[in-house]
Amino acid sequence: MNFKHKIKISKLYQILQYYGQIRGDVIKFLQQLQIAIKVKTYSDIHGMNFQLFISRRLAIGDKQSFSRFIIRIAVLAIALSVSVMIISTCMVTGFSKEIKDRIFGFWGEIHITNFDNNESLEASPIKQQQVALYILRQAPEVHNVAPYIIKAGILKTKSDIEGIVFKGIDTAYDLQTIGSFLKEGTLPDFRDTTSCKSILVSQSTARKLNLKVGDFVVAYFIRKDLATPQGRKLMISGIYHTGLEEYDKQFALVDIRMLRALNQWSNDEVSGFEVRLKDINTMDAFKDSIFLNYVDQTINAQTMKDINRNIFEWLDLQKVNEYLILGFMVLVAVLNMITALIILILDRTNMIGVLKSMGANNKSISGIFMYNAAYIILNGLFWGNLIGIGMCLLQYYTGFITLNEENYYLSVAPVYFNVWGILLINVSTLVICTLIMLLPVRLISNITPIKAIRFK
């Protein structure tokens, strides 16, 4: 049987070469096939190895081959598309996560206040009895609940003056989160039995007033019942920096007992409560739960999304941009895949005709190009992941891409490695390209041996 097949190929080779109806690449192909038959049985070549053998010759065979060049271009296109998708996903996700972490780190996820407070800096107090604090703190979604008081005032040094909003906190506050923003000094110590005389100011405020850790500053407060402002001498215990300029230039942290005394409030009165959650994705649902289970009807609960709507809408817009980039890059990869396969099929039309004249069916010939498509996709994914993840790692450790902090709230473009997002990019690209590549392969069924062999 093996001998008969050799005779078939030899005769066909001689006839086609005699009449000069095929190009040199088909002659080379038949020569390679004859060599393969000398070392393998026809049954081996006719099976899986037959299709793999030819696809390998197309992909990594003759360096002068046009098919090899097209396959390299297709691999490059998919690699670039995948790398851009990975970079955009890691950076947009990292940017959004970093901004949210800074907002939630400074303010928590949910605020419980009076309905009439809104954004007033002279808030009406709420009593702790109006909130079921003990039950709220035991809720499985809750990480921490802390009271706060806000009050407008003025910071004055010997030569400068600056308007500021004082935020009073106590030992219940999540100081570990605030500590992550600390640049110099230490956090105020609120554990003393008397009111703490320290203040934590932002880096921008310290720069404006030319302050450093250990300096003293006078804080002035206005009360409606007094003709002159009240002053308090405070020491700069530390300097923080969140990068959120509208917070940094506005707020300073002090002892809640000092502000409570200035407001002449009782010990159970505060401006509101900050609720920090274990999972920020439960924020909207838990806000509704607070209304139903933990506060009376005169108390309001707002998420930071409600309070800072503009920032969160801006972050949502960045997410839309990410989806547009991902969709465009998938489209680029798909179009390059289709174009590469069509060019390969047209370039190898003579070969298809020869194989069909030898008795190969459409399915077996399609398998050759399916192997080529698999080679393109898998190599493209490999190099795309290598480039994309490599660039993200480089940015993560070096921070070579910088941002204007006044406009973007961050000085360095952050990177967050969303493993599931990267896996989804790879799986989606693989599935979509695999399904799409079936379209050009269908062209093989329309190719007839005689016309294919004469095709120039």
Q: What pLDDT shows up at residue 153?
A: 92
Domain containing 432 equals 47-94+314-454
Is 365 found in the same domain as 272? no
Q: What pLDDT shows up at residue 84?
A: 92
Is 264 found in the same domain as 185? yes
Q: Find where tokens 């004469």 sit.
A: 454
The pTM of this model reads 0.76
The model's confidence at residue 40, banded by pLDDT at 50, 70 and 90, is very low
Q: What pLDDT shows up at residue 373?
A: 79
Long-range CB pairs of 117-126, under 8 A, 24+ apart, other chains included = 117/271, 117/272, 117/300, 119/307, 121/150, 121/151, 121/152, 121/165, 122/151, 122/152, 123/149, 123/150, 123/271, 123/272, 125/263, 125/265, 125/269, 125/270, 125/271, 126/269, 126/270, 126/271, 126/272, 126/299
Question: What are the tokens at 253?
Answer: 């942290």
The answer to whether residue 388 sits within a structural domain is: yes
Phi, psi of 197 (to 5 degrees): -100, 25
Is 352 found in the same domain as 293? no
Is 268 found in the same domain as 343? no
Q: Is the pLDDT of residue 39 over 70?
A: no
The answer to whether residue 169 sits within a structural domain is: yes
The model's confidence at residue 10, banded by pLDDT at 50, 70 and 90, is low
The model's confidence at residue 64, banded by pLDDT at 50, 70 and 90, is low
Is 216 found in the same domain as 362? no
The answer to whether residue 31 sits within a structural domain is: yes
The model's confidence at residue 120, banded by pLDDT at 50, 70 and 90, is low
Mean pLDDT for the stretch of residues 349-377:
74
Residue whose C-alpha is closest to residue 27's, from 346, 351, 343 = 351
Terminal alpha carbon distance of the chain: 34
The answer to whether residue 100 sits within a structural domain is: no
Q: Is the pLDDT of residue 35 over 50?
A: no
Chain segment 403-419, per-residue pLDDT in tens: 888 788 888 899 999 89
By residue count, the chain amounts to 456
Is 334 found in the same domain as 280? no
Residue whose C-alpha is closest to residue 188's, from 245, 235, 222 = 235
Is 74 found in the same domain as 129? no
Chain segment 287-307, per-residue pLDDT in tens: 999 988 899 888 999 999 988
The answer to whether residue 109 sits within a structural domain is: no
Q: What pLDDT shows up at residue 255?
A: 92
Q: What pLDDT shows up at residue 283?
A: 92
Number of separate domains in the chain: 3
Chain segment 228-270, per-residue pLDDT in tens: 889 999 999 999 998 888 788 889 999 999 999 998 899 899 9
Other Cβ atoms less than 10 A from the Cβ of 106: the count is: 20
Residue scoring higher pLDDT (36 or 273): 273
Mean pLDDT for the stretch of residues 45-53:
56
Q: Find where tokens 């093996």 sit.
A: 2
Q: Is the pLDDT of residue 224 over 90?
A: no
Is 343 found in the same domain as 270? no
The model's confidence at residue 142, banded by pLDDT at 50, 70 and 90, is very high
Q: What pLDDT shows up at residue 22?
A: 43
Q: Is the dihedral of CA 361, 364, 365, 366 positive or negative?
A: positive
Is 419 found in the same domain as 436? yes
Residue scoring higher pLDDT (121 or 168): 168
Is 53 found in the same domain as 36? no
Asked which of 297, 328, 352 is the last residue of a domain, the reply is 297
Mean pLDDT for the stretch of residues 303-325:
87
At residue 144, the 3 state secondary structure works out as strand
Asked which of 235, 270, 297 is the last residue of a domain, the reply is 297
The answer to whether residue 305 sits within a structural domain is: no
The answer to whether residue 279 sits within a structural domain is: yes
The answer to whether residue 308 sits within a structural domain is: no
The contacts of residue 281 (CB under 8 Å, 6+ apart) are: none
Q: Is the pLDDT of residue 227 over 90?
A: no
Q: Is the pLDDT of residue 24 over 80?
A: no
Q: Distance between CA atoms of 306 and 112, rounded to whole angstroms? A: 12
Q: Is the pLDDT of residue 68 over 90?
A: no
CB of 450 closer than 8 Å to CB of 405:
no
Mean per-residue pLDDT of the chain? 81
H/E element, 133: helix 133-137
The model's confidence at residue 336, banded by pLDDT at 50, 70 and 90, is confident
Is 260 found in the same domain as 134? yes
Is 287 found in the same domain as 233? yes
